[in-house]
């Protein structure tokens, strides 16, 4: 009999959730950034080992929301935690033991599913600190791959008996156009500073995968006219780097060539606007009726 289930990657921003997903799946699916709150929408990564299928959900970081987009990010993170069969609670090894998940996440009641504490980025702590950490959780490093097999073993033991939820060869469930936006955003976090990457998003206007190269036309949005110039950069240098980064990631994922066309527009205050948030794939909050 096969085992399969949903595994949530939960924790504060920047603890290494997206990096761990990528290390587990073996593909760069989820965007990674040293800047906090880069993940806005959950990314699903699959791993099937023999008779066991893991459906990992890389979630936005658990934080106190300050405006509409962050409220949706938190709702998505909490929803992922609620639906999971197993919850991985990630915390950087170097930061010592964390408060329990319910406290850290401000949950009104403890989660239903079992919670495993995962000490991330263990390559950053001296080996003398390991035995102590191992008592309270599983030590991992997305950087070196350490601990991932042990982590999978522990999770597998908690997954219910169930038919596979996806074909055994699949690595992801989301369409290439979703990843096109994510990789453009990843590049924005890499090449833009301060508020600009947070004001940035992208939308795929045209997508043709019957051609070689695959043709993608994306509109890049910022919130202010002044950010438009920053995004484009001197002689178009910045936007060129952003396009190249995203194209490289997409080509690696697809195993084929991609032509990526970009255009910049200003969309004031989109992160606070329910209509625009819906357009960019953020589900309405349960309390919202319009
Ligand atoms: N040294 C080290 N850095 C890591 C590791 N995992 C993630 N990071 C870094 O931590 C930062 C945040 O990672 P990310 O996966 O985006 O965190 P998330 O916000 O929780 O999804 C990035 O700069 C990563 O390169 C790790 O295992 N070791
Ligand atoms: Mg992330």
Q: Indicate which ligand has the atom closest to the C-alpha of 10.
A: 1
pLDDT at 286: 78
Pocket test for ligand 1, best of 8, 11, 16, 34 (most atoms within 8 A of CB): 16
Return all residues near 212 (Cβ < 8 A) that are at least 6 apart. 256, 257
pLDDT at 245: 98
Burial-class residue 64 by CB neighbours within 10 Å (0-12, 13-18, 19+). Answer: exposed
Q: What does the pLDDT look like over 178-188, one tens digit per residue?
A: 999 999 999 99
Q: Indicate which ligand has the atom closest to the C-alpha of 189.
A: 1
Q: What is the dihedral of CA 53, 61, 280, 227, to 10 degrees?
A: -140
Cβ(80)–Cβ(56) below 8 Å: no
Shortest-distance Cα residue to atom 13 of ligand 1: 16
Shortest-distance Cα residue to atom 7 of ligand 1: 16
Pocket test for ligand 1, best of 45, 59, 142 (most atoms within 8 A of CB): 142
Ligand 1 contacts (CB < 6 A) are 13-19, 32-34, 38-39, 61, 120-121, 123-124, 141-143
Pocket test for ligand 1, best of 11, 32, 77 (most atoms within 8 A of CB): 32
Return all residues near 226 (Cβ < 8 A) that are at least 6 apart. none
pLDDT at 289: 43
Question: Bridge-partner residues for 139, per DSSP?
Answer: 119
Q: What does the pLDDT look like over 225-247, one tens digit per residue?
A: 999 999 999 999 999 999 999 99
Shortest-distance Cα residue to atom 1 of ligand 1: 121
> What does pLDDT average to over the chain?
96
Domains of the chain: residue spans and CATH: 3-156 (3.40.50.300), 176-279 (3.30.300.20)
From ligand 1's centre to the CA of 246, what distance in Å?
Answer: 19
From ligand 1's centre to the CA of 34, what distance in Å?
Answer: 7
Mean pLDDT, range 64-91, rounded to an integer: 97
Shortest-distance Cα residue to atom 4 of ligand 1: 121
pLDDT at 97: 86
Helix 176-191 × helix 237-254 angle, to 10°? 140
Indicate which atom in ligand 1 lies nearest the CA of residue 12: 20
**Locus of tokens 């690595």:** 171
pLDDT at 290: 42
Question: Bridge-partner residues for 7, per DSSP?
Answer: 56, 86
Length of the chain, please? 290
From ligand 1's centre to the CA of 215, what distance in Å?
Answer: 31
Q: Whole-prediction pTM value?
A: 0.97
pLDDT at 71: 97
Burial-class residue 116 by CB neighbours within 10 Å (0-12, 13-18, 19+). Answer: middle
**Locus of tokens 């508020």:** 195
Mean pLDDT, range 264-287, rounded to an integer: 95
Residue 220 has pLDDT above 60, yes or no: yes
Mean pLDDT, range 107-119, rounded to an integer: 95
**SS3 readout for the chain:** CCEEEEEEEECCCCCCHHHHHHHHHCCCCCCCCCCCCCCCCCEEEEEEECCEEEEEEECCCCCCCCCHHHHHHHHHHHHHHHHCCEEEEEEEHHHCCCCCHHHHHCCCCCCCCCEEEEEECHHHCCHHHHHHHHHHCEECCCCCCCCHHHHHHHHHCCCCECCCCCCCCCCECCCHHHHHHHHHHHHHHHHCCCCHHHHCEEEEEEEECCCCCEEEEEEEEECCHHHHHHHHCHHHHHHHHHHHHHHHHHHHHHCCCEEEEEEEEECCCHHHCHHHHHHCCCCCCCCCCC
% pLDDT > 90, the chain: 97
From ligand 1's centre to the CA of 222, what distance in Å?
Answer: 25
% pLDDT > 70, the chain: 99
CA proximity to 182, closest of 31, 74, 18:
31
Cβ(265)–Cβ(199) below 8 Å: no
Indicate which atom in ligand 1 lies nearest the CA of residue 14: 19
From ligand 2's centre to the CA of 19, what distance in Å?
Answer: 7
Radius of gyration of the chain (CA): 19
Q: How confident is the model at residue 288 (pLDDT cuts 50, 70, 90)?
A: low
């Amino acid at each position: 009999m096969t085992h399969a289930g949903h595994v949530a990657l939960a924790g504060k921003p920047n603890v290494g959730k997206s990096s761990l997903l990528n290390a587990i799946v073996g593909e760069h699916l989820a965007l990674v950034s040293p800047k906090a709150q880069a993940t806005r929408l959950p990314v699903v990564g699959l791993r099937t080992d023999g008779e066991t299928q893991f459906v990992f959900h890389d979630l936005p970081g658990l934080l106190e929301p300050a405006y509409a987009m962050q409220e949706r990010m938190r709702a998505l993170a909490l929803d992922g935690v609620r639906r999971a069969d197993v919850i991985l609670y990630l915390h950087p090894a170097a930061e010592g033991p964390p408060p329990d998940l319910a406290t850290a996440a401000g949950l009104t009641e403890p989660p239903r599913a079992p919670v495993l504490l995962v000490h991330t980025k263990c390559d950053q702590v001296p080996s003398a600190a390991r035995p102590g950490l191992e008592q309270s959780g599983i030590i991992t490093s997305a950087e070196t791959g350490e601990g991932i097999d042990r982590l999978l073993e522990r999770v597998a033991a908690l997954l219910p008996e169930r038919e596979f939820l996806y074909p055994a060869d699949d690595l992801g469930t989301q369409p290439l156009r979703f990843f096109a936006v994510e990789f453009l955003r990843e590049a924005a976090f890499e090449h833009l500073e301060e508020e600009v990457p947070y004001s940035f998003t992208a939308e795929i206007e045209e997508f043709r995968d019957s051609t070689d190269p695959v043709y993608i036309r994306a509109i890049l949005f910022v919130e202010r006219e002044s950010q438009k110039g920053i995004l484009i950069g001197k002689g178009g240098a910045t936007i060129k780097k952003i396009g190249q980064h995203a194209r490289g990631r997409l080509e690696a994922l697809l195993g084929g060539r991609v032509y990526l066309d970009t255009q910049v527009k200003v969309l004031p205050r989109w992160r606070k606007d329910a209509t625009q948030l819906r357009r960019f794939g953020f589900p309405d909050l349960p309390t919202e009726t319009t």
